[in-house]
Amino acid sequence: MIRILPLAWLSIVSMGCEELPQVSRTCEHMCEDATRLFGSCLETWGLEWTDAGFDDEAAHQESCEVWSWEVSELHGADKVDAICDDRGALLHDGECSDYSNIDWNKEP
């Protein structure tokens, strides 16, 4: 099944009980759209969040936000905001294929 950046999960685990790093509103909104769409797709496919490697919807949201923070740290805030803006537009009213066609592991 589709998973967002295994490195993102490692980051969450290594952070322990610390709060997630701050992400831009642009990326936060994109992650909300991604989570909503992916949740809808899972339901359509007859799957649960755990089938996709997440404890629940909140875990997907956190993973997405950690992804955006990591990309921001590696490639800059402007770069990640542009990516989040493009993906947010795609995912806001998107279809399951729009989500599944994104390579979350691909370098920007």
CB-based burial label for 10 (10 Å; 0-12, 13-18, 19+): exposed
CB-based burial label for 94 (10 Å; 0-12, 13-18, 19+): buried
Average pLDDT over residues 87-93: 96
Per-residue pLDDT of 75-88, as tens digits, reads 999 999 999 999 99
Sign of CA dihedral 91, 28, 76, 66: negative
Query: Which is higher by pLDDT, 3 or 85?
Result: 85
Name the pLDDT band for 19 (thresholds 50, 70, 90).
low
Per-residue pLDDT of 22-66, as tens digits, reads 889 999 999 999 999 999 999 999 999 999 999 999 999 999 999
